[in-house]
Amino acid sequence: PALEALEAYKRRDGSKVIVRFRAVGNAPIMKQNYYKITASNRFQAVIQFLRKELGWKPTDPLFTYINMAFSPAPDDTVSNLFKCFATEGHLIVNY
């Protein structure tokens, strides 16, 4: 059973999660704020995607929060964050 669990864990989850981006303060507003992101991705991929969409350099400061409550670790998986903190079927990421 432990080996089966390990194999299941290793398999990439191809399912998608709807991530909704919300600008906070004077952050630039995106033209589109709903995106489907692969659930098995790390949150770091979401941060990189957001930087690319905003046209920001890797050195520009970018702070992200889930539901305006906490900043997730870059190595958290999107699926884990979605399971724990989804709101109305979306993972809300404030930036």
Q: Which residues of 8-25 are buried (b: 16+ CB within 10 A; e: fewer)?
A: eeeeeeeeebebebeeee
CB contact set of 24 (below 8 Å; sequence gap of 6+): 65, 68, 94, 95
1 pLDDT band, cuts 50/70/90, is confident
Give the predicted TM-score (pTM) of the model: 0.82
- Site of tokens 């995607």: 49
What does the mean pLDDT of the chain come to?
91
Residue type, 46: V
Q: Return the CATH class of domain 12-94.
A: alpha beta
Q: Is the predicted pLDDT of residue 29 greater than 70, yes or no? A: yes
- How do residues 42-81 score in pLDDT, each as one tens digit? 999 999 999 999 999 989 999 999 999 999 999 999 999 9
In this prediction, residue 13 carries a pLDDT of 58
Residue spans of the domains in the chain: they are 12-94
